[in-house]
Structure 1
Amino acid sequence: MSPPSPSSSSSSNGFFAICLLHSAIATSCGALMMLYLDELSALGHGAETAGKLRGSTPHDQLLIQVSDSFAGLLLFVVGALLFMVAFVRDRDFQVFFAKGCVLLHAAVALWRVLVERGLEDLASDWPRQLVGDFVLSMSWVLFLVYTWNEKYD
């Protein structure tokens, strides 16, 4: 088997960097959601909205806290998986994975526009979060454009 050509390794380095960046973001956000949800919620939404999002009865509060902790755990696991995927050197897999990530970010953005915009307590936060979804998806789009450009040059 011959060593990879310089063009395939540069693409792999870009994929590696993007995966590590997204892994760091997902892992740190997941850990913060599991451990410091109240502080993170107050920082992101404001103290008044964060209080409303905690629930009104002790049972609701416990249910919301467990649900948010599991969401944080899921995000942490996604970060760990992204870290592992960063070491895959197969160009076809990288392109396939990047397309899937773009679709995932688009689905999250669509959720924010259709659902979160309609929630009174979260209505002020969705535009800022939509920008974050757009920026994260653009990193994958730029990787795909670079890969496509490299393939057809």
Structure 2
Amino acid sequence: MFYLNEIYIFGHGVETTQKLSGSTPHDQLLIQTSNSFVGLLLFVVGFLVFMVAFVKDREFQSFFAKGCVLLHISMALWRVNFERRLEDLAWDWPRQAVGDVVLALSWVFFLLYTWREKYD
């Protein structure tokens, strides 16, 4: 439906995609179920961010942004500590870790902008 195999090939290459897609039908079903839950989680997180955008309370938005910074830094640390040990994903983790740090910085810039508005 979403051409996941082609996306994996584009991101990781043919050989790694074959390894990551599972060797048995049971493994493939587990991976597809996991991908479905990841998609659902992304939808819920996007909906949550959309709802928070309409909250007028600056303290809550600041709390939410700090949580997002913590989440992105945690993901970057996870990639550095664990994903680099996986042979098939070893070359991919630096790019993703940098992406996580950049996303965390975007929330830090949001916090600095709201802090500047608060104390101006």
TM-score (norm 2): 0.92
Query: How many aligned residue pairs are there?
Result: 120
Distance 1:108 1:89 in 2: 28
Aligned to 1:60, which of 14, 24, 27?
A: 27
Distance 1:43 1:80 in 2: 28
Q: What amino acid is aligned across from residue 56 of structure 2 in structure 1?
A: R
- 1:151 Cα offset (Å): 2.7
The reply on whether 1:96 has 2:63 as its aligned counterpart is: yes
Distance 1:67 1:92 in 2: 35
Aligned to 1:136, which of 103, 107, 120?
A: 103
1:4-153 superposed matches below 5 A: 35-153=2-120
TM-score (norm 1): 0.73
Structure 1 ranges of 4+ moved more than 3 A: none
Distance 1:35 1:85 in 2: 28
Runs of 5+ unmatched residues, structure 1? 1-33
Q: What amino acid is aligned across from residue 83 of structure 2 in structure 1?
A: E
Identity %: 73
Distance 1:36 1:97 in 2: 33
The alpha-carbon distance between structure 1 residues 36 and 85, as it changes in their structure 2 partners (threshold 3 A), is: farther
Distance 1:117 1:51 in 2: 19
Residues 48-104 of structure 1, C-alpha deviations (whole Å, 9 max, x = no match): 111110011111111111112211211122112111111111111111111000000
Q: What amino acid is aligned across from residue 80 of structure 2 in structure 1?
A: V
Distance 1:142 1:149 in 2: 10
Q: What amino acid is aligned across from residue 119 of structure 1 in structure 2?
A: L
When the two chains are superposed, the root-mean-square deviation of aligned CA atoms in Å is 1.4
